Chain A
Amino acid sequence: MSFLELQNITKVYPNGTKAVNETSLNVEKGEFVVFVGPSGCGKSTLLRMIAGLEDITSGEIILDANTINNVDPSERDVAMVFQNYALYPHMTVYNNMAYGLKNRGISKQEIEDKVNEVAKLLEIDPYLSRKPSMLSGGQRQRVAMGRAIVRNPKIFLFDEPLSNLDAKLRNQMRLEIKKLQRHMGVTSIFVTHDQTEAMTLGDRIVVINDGIVEQVGTPKDIYSKPNTKFVAEFIGSPQMNIFNCKIDNGIAKIDNNSINLNKSINVDDASIGIRPDDIQISNSGSISCKANLVEYLGSDMIIYSNMGDQEFSCKLSSKIDVKSGDEFKFDIQPSLVHIFDNSSGKRID
């Protein structure tokens, strides 16, 4: 039995919207799981159901061998970090962290020891007597983390905690969260819409779309073998190139170019996907295209081009000399191509 089990969780709002549909998931103890998906896909709703802030329409949530569907949020032994920090504005940093403990009737001395210990860990001990309004965004984020940590919960729930921070601070906090989680070994669920965050943080990633889990797997699995066309397009930056085509006996036809997929399959309505960095330019390449636009990124560059009416991009080392308007030649290796059936959106192997 896993530490946290979601069994056929469904959430239907009173207005009839189905936010989460028959979702099942197992999370092991100490694991860092990231829910990722576009906004409105139901990932936050799922997290909030685990926290107890949202009713569960049907299904069961089991935490540490107890069904927690009807357990009060304060007694589920979970801690949550919110996107906008959600600190109590009228309380000092110390009281913000101590509030949950006070309500559980823990002794004053114990609370003090705990808060001080966590404050030191997060380097917020100089600010314990300040109010949240006197702190910077990054410091507030730490306090929110501290408030979660002092409770010593069974599970941490992060609801897009980094999206209010600027880019630099976000990267720094991302690293810190990862380190902290490793250090404490607390099971964590992290919700984000940012696939980079998901890839870097998660032991496992759960890609959610439209209330349905599209794929669960390690970042590497998901990147190298996306189960569905949605996952293929959502994970990876720049986005995977998708070409609509007809596959005839293993040959995909895009515009005037034929790509041999080395597979004996026939699909009338298919998509083939290739990551921009998997396209290899060489003078002996069999496909020739015109570079419509070249974006220079320092070490890399991105070439935007098209085959017929289907646009695509390639990412390559900027040492290669291609300018806007140039013709360039490249090959597509069959082993790097992802094939999807357009009618089901599923991967074809």
Chain B
Amino acid sequence: MKKVQFKSSYSQYFFLAPQLLILLIFLYWPIIQTFRDAFTIQDAFGFGSYFAGFDNFKFIFSDPSYYTAFKFTIIYSFVITLITGSIGLLLAVQANSVLHGKNVYKTLLIWPYAIAPAVVGVMANYFFSERFGLLYHLFNNLWGFNWYQDVFDAYIYVVIAGSWKQISANFIFFLAGLQAIQKTVIEASIIDCKSNIRRFWTITFPLLMPTTFFLIIINITYSFFDTFGIIDTTTIGAPGSETKTLVYKAYIDGFKGLDLGSAGAQSIMMMLIVLVITIFQFRYIEGKIHYN
């Protein structure tokens, strides 16, 4: 490797400047702004603000709707991670063992990944509309499904809308993971173990653990942040505020309710939650994973 050494100690800053500028304006400045908002209370009519210490945090912790959003976000990310992970894995295993038309299956299963969450939400709308939604009427006939009023039914709606596209992401990564497993290792296990299912859980699945771990983080991050567009185009939090994610609630409180202080405090709380989850995963799960 050839190393190029520049004499000038300023030129590198010149080349870095555009990137740094973008980071400063779109990342660091908003972060600082968020912290400022979180510790100040704004005048309702926009005439100045004053330092409030932890008042904003105290307020959100005393707000029952914050707990509702918290509860929903946790349930939502857990269910989405589980559903997208398991269906993605199932599809990947099936597509990997298909002999004819493998590429057709692959392509079709990957397509939904390219669709923006908001568009997915609009599409889900068609299925769950009270007037002409196919799934709405199917479920309604089965158990009186009505997401406008029933919390559980609303969960089903947003979970289906939120999972559909993410299954594709899980599918791609699991398929890549499956193809990275040495063929002879699988063949050795075919001679060692008769049961397909047992072989899958003792050989294939443990060897997919790095992919699974990666996808758990990706899926949690997705359900925390990227489902904003889906909530906003499906239930908009209904019934009541039962299907508001933390991100969605922060947005509504900040930009619709114009309570920037509360929104800032909520953002910081969310950052802490993601931090804790990620640390937990790296500490306690990653150590048990075998990387090839």
Chain A: residues with CB nearer than 8 A to chain B? Answer: 14, 51-53, 72-75, 78-80, 82-84, 86-90, 99-100, 103, 131, 133, 147, 151
| Chain B residues with CB below 8 A from A151, complex form | 192
Q: How far is the CA of A90 from the CA of B290 in the complex (A)?
A: 6
Specify which of B187, B193, B203, B209 lies most central, judged by the most chain A CB atoms within 10 Å of its CB. B187
- Indicate if the CB atoms of A84 and B207 lie closer than 8 Å: no
| Chain A residues with CB below 8 A from B99, complex form | 14
Does B68 belong to the interface (CB within 8 Å)?
A: no
Across the A-B interface, give the 8 residue pairs with the lowest CB-CB distance, nearest first.
A86-B184, A100-B192, A90-B290, A74-B194, A86-B188, A103-B193, A82-B184, A90-B206
- Indicate if the CB atoms of B194 and A88 lie closer than 8 Å: no
Q: Which of B184, B193, B209 contacts A100 (CB 8 A)?
A: B193
Does B182 belong to the interface (CB within 8 Å)?
A: yes
Does B185 belong to the interface (CB within 8 Å)?
A: yes
Specify which of B99, B189, B192, B198 lies most central, judged by the most chain A CB atoms within 10 Å of its CB. B192
Specify which of A84, A99, A147 lies most central, judged by the most chain B CB atoms within 10 Å of its CB. A99
Does B190 belong to the interface (CB within 8 Å)?
A: yes
| Chain B residues with CB below 8 A from A80, complex form | 187-188, 191
Q: Which of B184, B191, B193, B195 contacts A78 (CB 8 A)?
A: B191
Q: How far is the CA of A283 from the CA of B89 in the complex (A)?
A: 77
Distance from B258 Cβ to chain A, minimum over Cβ atoms (Å): 54
Distance from A209 Cβ to chain B, minimum over Cβ atoms (Å): 25
Q: How far is the CA of A242 from the CA of B290 in the complex (A)?
A: 54
- Indicate if the CB atoms of B193 and A84 lie closer than 8 Å: no
Interface residues on B, range: 20 to 34
| Chain A residues with CB below 8 A from B206, complex form | 90
Q: Which of B182, B190, B202 contacts A74 (CB 8 A)?
A: B190
| Chain A residues with CB below 8 A from B195, complex form | 103
- Indicate if the CB atoms of A82 and B193 lie closer than 8 Å: no
| A74-B193, A89-B290, A90-B290 given; A103·B188 CB < 8 A | no
Q: How far is the CA of A208 from the CA of B185 in the complex (A)?
A: 27
Specify which of A53, A78, A133, A151 lies most central, judged by the most chain B CB atoms within 10 Å of its CB. A53
Quick one: closest A residue to B202, CB to CB?
Answer: A99
Quick one: closest A residue to B206, CB to CB?
Answer: A90
- Indicate if the CB atoms of A86 and B194 lie closer than 8 Å: no
- Indicate if the CB atoms of A51 and B207 lie closer than 8 Å: no
Distance from A25 Cβ to chain B, minimum over Cβ atoms (Å): 21
Distance from B218 Cβ to chain A, minimum over Cβ atoms (Å): 22
| Chain B residues with CB below 8 A from A131, complex form | 290
Does B292 belong to the interface (CB within 8 Å)?
A: yes
- Indicate if the CB atoms of B207 and A82 lie closer than 8 Å: no
Quick one: closest B residue to A74, CB to CB?
Answer: B194
| Chain B residues with CB below 8 A from A74, complex form | 190-194
- Indicate if the CB atoms of A90 and B182 lie closer than 8 Å: no
Distance from B26 Cβ to chain A, minimum over Cβ atoms (Å): 42
Quick one: closest A residue to B190, CB to CB?
Answer: A73
Q: Which of B187, B198, B207 contacts A90 (CB 8 A)?
A: B207
- Indicate if the CB atoms of B191 and A83 lie closer than 8 Å: no
Quick one: closest A residue to B198, CB to CB?
Answer: A103
- Indicate if the CB atoms of B194 and A75 lie closer than 8 Å: yes
Q: Which of B185, B209, B290 contacts A87 (CB 8 A)?
A: B185
Distance from A341 Cβ to chain B, minimum over Cβ atoms (Å): 41
Distance from A44 Cβ to chain B, minimum over Cβ atoms (Å): 11
| Chain A residues with CB below 8 A from B203, complex form | 88
